[in-house]
Chains A and B, each alone.
Chain A
Amino acid sequence: MAEIAPGIHVRHGVHEEATAANQDGIANIGFVVGEKSVAIIDPGGSRDDGQALRSHVRAVTDLPISHVVLTHFHPDHVFGCVAFEADKPHFVAHARALALLVTRGEFYRNSLADILGLEAAGDYEKPAMLVTDRATIDLGGRSLSLQAHRTAHTDNDLTILDDRTATLWTGDLLFIDRVPAIDGSILGWRAVIDTLRQMPVKLAVPGHGPVSVAWPAGLDDESRYLDLLTREIRAVIARGGSIEEAVGTVGLSERSRWLLFDDYNGRNVTTAFKELEWE
């Protein structure tokens, strides 16, 4: 756990897939401490991951946990919700997150249960505070500005800006070191990156990568990867090539620059190809 700016605590997620050893603690998660209450930013990837985070909060402060904010619906970010039920916080998410939590949640939970066991897998909570555009959370003496984005990494990415320190929690709109995974729109993601660049940010917490990065330079690697995929897929489409051909050829010059590249690049190309063939 690192305090990257006053009152902003981040737990680094390992660059692995979920295992019993890491308890799906693979995403960067953490919390922000105000004068009256605490907001959790992503409660973790499993029951134990969430409980460990809650213990970290209690080692720092006795203030109540008023909010649990979900940056998006993916399991490594939300299945620690169960660890915070007793705090009765407001669960907060992008308005579109609820539908995907419901439709894919059971599948995710069963998959995680195969690794951790059903109870240890944890579960999500249905968010009651849904953000369609912007919202503010008051923690007493410090406020968090929430912004819901257009379809990018997923269709329900939410960023959280701490006004006191100008620290931006990007969720999975920013991957560093670990290869980005596209579960939304490659063109939307590139547009959102341009929006994020303009925000008044000093420091950012990526969803995967180091606990903090300089802004906006931290966006550069991801931006280069997404630009390359777009360019190379458009070239395959322009010469009448197939989706199979694109999967076998696109993005490979980035292979040595990213962890878990072989696990995600082919699927990223598939998703992006389907989008770009309708441009």
Chain B
Amino acid sequence: MIRSILTTAMLIGLAGPALAEEDEAAQATRWQELKSTLFGDRPVIEDSNVITLDAPTRALDASTVPIGVSMSTAGPQISGGVTKLWLVVDGNPSPIVGAFSFGPDADPRSLRTRVRVDQYTLIHAVAETANGRLFSTAKFVKAAGGCSAPSTKDPQLAMSRLGEIRVRLEGNSVPVEGSVTTAQLLISHPNNNGMQMDQLTHNYIPPHYIQTVKVTYGSKLVFSVDADISLSEDPAITFGLRLDGDGPLHVEVQDSAKGDYRRDFALLKGS
């Protein structure tokens, strides 16, 4: 039986063929432009010793592509460690997924999230170190249609839990003060990018998306992110956390409709 991968996804329709797949030269040009916009003339060094990106070669669901970044925190190149991270889906209408800033209570060795991918594209991750150097890595992902995919299967349910925030510790680990743990932040938000249609009115839904997320532990910053519409609906961010004192873990989310959602989590037993 001849099976076309291309049509596999058609029955569902969220991933599919790139209608106009860019050649390598076009991809390079696009990245040059993005890099110049973000970083001006600063040198950006591709170095897999400093930063690597994990992403599926072919996405199962273009509206929710899980990606992960691993960053080195030691070595002569990166004295002071990683302080900032940019995630960029080059081929998206609005390519910046987010600009992350790490604080003293972060463990920036690993960060995972889920992104939308609108066409076959390179995804870039760029880390900035405390001494002001920029390091990048990239991966090519085959996925299409993730930006116009209906943002949610059940709009009423999605709006009823808008702004709900959950945090869980990976592997349900029992946290100990002073240790480093991995936590997942889940935010219920449609993250509408203005490219989906309302099911009842058949008008395009105005953009309504998360702009900033700030996570602190006690009085210290873990990370903050300036986000954009390439983040998936119901964003999920898995990050390293230094349990420096009693906490609590505090999460603040602001969206483009002036929504402001906050929640505290006591992670240590008895705190």
A residues sitting closer than 8 Å to B (CB atoms) are 16-19, 21, 74-76, 95-96, 98-100, 102-104, 107-108, 110-112, 114-115, 151, 155, 181, 183-185, 188, 238-244, 247, 260, 263-264, 266-267, 270-271, 274-275, 277-278
Contact = CB atoms under 8 A, between A and B. Distances in A.
Interface stretch (B7-15, B81-89, B241-249): B7-15
A32 to B, nearest CB: 25
Given A151-B153, A181-B11, A243-B114, A98 B202 contact: yes
Nearest to B173: A240
Interface residues of A: mostly helix, strand, loop or mixed?
Answer: helix
B199 A181 contact: no
Contact of A185 (B61, B112, B153): B153
**Which 10 interchain pairs have the tightest Cβ spacing?**
A17-B7, A240-B172, A267-B60, A263-B8, A18-B7, A103-B197, A270-B61, A99-B199, A266-B60, A240-B171
Contact of A103 (B148, B168, B236): B148
A33 B114 CA distance: 49
Contacts, number: 133
B65 to A, nearest CB: 9
B26 interface: no
Interface of B: 1-4, 6-17, 19, 60-61, 64, 66, 112, 114, 145, 148-150, 153-154, 161, 164, 168-173, 184, 186, 188, 196-200, 202, 234, 236, 238
A111 B234 contact: no
A17 B154 contact: no
B171 A104 contact: no
A61 B142 CA distance: 48
A274 B149 CA distance: 15
Given A17-B3, A278-B188, A151 B11 contact: no
Given A17-B7, A155-B153, A274-B64, A111 B16 contact: yes
